[in-house]
């Protein structure tokens, strides 16, 4: 038996979701049996041998200049071709923007069931069982796969990567029997969100602001706290709809789902659609002047108080902490 993992790269760098998926594949391989095989589409090798340390035994690489940018149909053919070669029991994807587009295409090509945005996987009686939130996180569904391989995409930041120091993966070419340049859909260009910005879905720490900030001119309080924590800035829908913050920062049902190790909600009431996007965070902190705000029901730690006093004090305290460390 074997497990296949899609290795996502952008700009020649392997994305962290793929290390998380490799880590989970390595854990599953302990019960289901290995090896763990990666498959990557790229214009050139993004340093795949190093993925041995992340759990890959070998990696199949499909090279084409058109794969500099994401090509949904082309990448789907690559993964389907790799599945044919490897005959895996399980195929894993990261549920990133790319993985959420790619995984269903592969499911369609292979004619197999796919469970998206999973938060847990288990090998039960030799078969894969996937756990995934449904109804915006108001319920949890457990699914099994009648066909083989089982396909699953993994919610970013939920699965831990592993470190097998000193291990390296064998990188093998995967032949293409199609011309990616003939694609009827292609990424014409990419606009970057801004240098050094880490997306909320990939951040270790997220500091989000809501309507309690009263106006966009006060968001510097959130940005400053985020900066000392090394965090990314998130936002509630109320402030995105008001035009204070870009949609890319929106956390919740109609925005992004985040699972950082620390989520700080400032001036956010904690409406159910917001909670849908952040309750899988490891630790939640809330700052709100209303002790009855629903956000305190999911927060591990809360401060009841005026954010205009609490946040600058918190920023200061963290800055001092780091200065002494």
Partner 1 sequence: MIQVVCVKQVPDTETRVKVAADGRTLDPSGVTWVLNPYDEFAIEQALRVRDQQGGGEIVAISLGGAGVPTALRNVLALGADRAIHLRTDLPAPDPLAVARALAAEIRALSPDLVWFGRQAVDDDQAQVGPILAELLDLPCATFVAAFALENRKATVERDFEGGREVIELTLPAVIAADKGLNEPRYASLKGIMAAKKKTIEEKPAELGETNLEVLALELPPARAAGRIVGQGAAAVPELVRVLREEAKVV
Ligand X SMILES: Cc1cc2nc3c(=O)[nH]c(=O)nc-3n(C[C@H](O)[C@H](O)[C@H](O)COP(=O)(O)OP(=O)(O)OC[C@H]3O[C@@H](n4cnc5c(N)ncnc54)[C@H](O)[C@@H]3O)c2cc1C
Residues within the interface to ligand X (CB under 6 A): 210-212, 236-239, 250-255, 267-269, 271, 273-274, 277, 288-290, 293, 306-308
Q: Which residues inside 72-91 make contact with partner 1, applying CB under 8 A?
A: 72-73, 76
The number of residues making up the chain comes to: 325
Residue 178 binding partner 1, by CB under 8 A: no
Site string for partner 1, 23-52 (x = CB under 8 A): ------------------------------
Question: For 72-152, where are the alpha helices, taking DSSP H only?
Answer: 72-86, 97-110
Which structure tokens are listed for 53?
A: 């340390």
Q: Closer CB to ligand X, residue 14 or residue 225?
A: 225
The strand pairing partners of 287, in sequence order, are 266, 303
φ and ψ of 92, to 5 deg: -115, 145
CA distance 107 to 14: 23
Which listed residue (69, 160, 181, 242) binds partner 1 by CB under 8 A? 69
Supply the DSSP symbol for 153.
E
Q: Which of 160, 163, 181, 187 touches partner 1 by CB under 8 A?
A: 187
Stretch that binds partner 1, among 32-40, 163-171, 198-206, 212-220 (CB under 8 A): 198-206
**C-alpha–C-alpha distance, residues 300 and 247, integer Å:** 27
Assigned token pair, 85? 């070669």
Residues 88, 179, 9, 12, CA torsion sign: positive
116: contact with partner 1 by CB under 8 A:
yes
Q: Which does 202 bind (CB under 5 to 8 A by kind): ligand X, partner 1, none?
A: partner 1
| Residues whose CB is less than 8 angstroms from the CB of residue 77 and which lie 6 or more positions away in sequence, other chains included | 109, 176, 178
Q: How far is the CB of 61 from partner 1 (least distance, A)?
A: 22
What is the per-residue binding string for partner 1 in 138-177, x denoting contact by CB under 8 A? xxxxxxxxxx------------------------------
Q: Which uninterrupted H or E stretch holds 56?
A: none
Q: How far is the CB of 52 from partner 1 (least distance, A)?
A: 25
Size of the site for partner 1 (CB under 8 A): 93
Q: What is the C-alpha separation between 278 and 222, in angstroms, rounded? A: 17
């Amino acid at each position: 038996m074997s497990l296949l993992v899609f290795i996502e790269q952008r700009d020649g760098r392997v994305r962290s979701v793929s290390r998380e998926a490799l880590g989970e594949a390595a854990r599953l391989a302990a019960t289901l049996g290995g090896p763990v095989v990666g498959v990557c589409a790229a214009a050139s090798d993004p340093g795949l041998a190093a993925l041995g340390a992340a759990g890959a035994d070998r990696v199949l690489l499909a090279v084409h200049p058109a794969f500099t940018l994401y090509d949904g149909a082309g990448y789907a053919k690559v993964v389907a071709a790799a599945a044919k070669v490897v005959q895996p029991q399980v195929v894993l994807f990261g549920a990133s923007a790319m993985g959420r587009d790619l995984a269903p295409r592969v499911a369609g090509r292979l004619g197999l069931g796919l469970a998206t945005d999973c938060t847990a996987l288990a090998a039960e009686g030799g078969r894969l069982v996937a756990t995934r939130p449904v109804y915006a996180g108001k319920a949890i569904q457990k699914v099994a796969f009648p066909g083989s391989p089982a396909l699953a995409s993994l919610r970013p930041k939920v699965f831990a990567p592993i470190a097998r120091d000193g291990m390296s993966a064998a990188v093998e070419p995967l032949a293409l029997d199609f011309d990616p340049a003939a694609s009827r859909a292609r990424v014409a260009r990419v606009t970057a969100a801004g240098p050094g910005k880490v997306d909320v879905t990939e951040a270790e720490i997220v500091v989000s602001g809501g309507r309690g900030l009263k106006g966009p001119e006060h968001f510097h309080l959130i940005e400053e706290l985020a900066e000392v924590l090394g965090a990314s800035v998130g936002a509630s829908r109320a402030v995105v709809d008001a035009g204070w913050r870009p949609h890319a920062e929106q956390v919740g049902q109609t925005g992004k789902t985040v699972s950082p190790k620390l989520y700080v909600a400032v001036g956010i009431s904690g409406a159910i659609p917001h909670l849908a996007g952040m309750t899988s965070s490891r630790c939640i902190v809330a700052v709100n002047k209303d002790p009855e705000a629903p956000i305190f029901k999911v927060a591990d730690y809360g401060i009841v108080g005026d954010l205009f006093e609490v946040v600058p004090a918190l920023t200061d305290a963290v800055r001092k902490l780091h200065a002494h460390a």
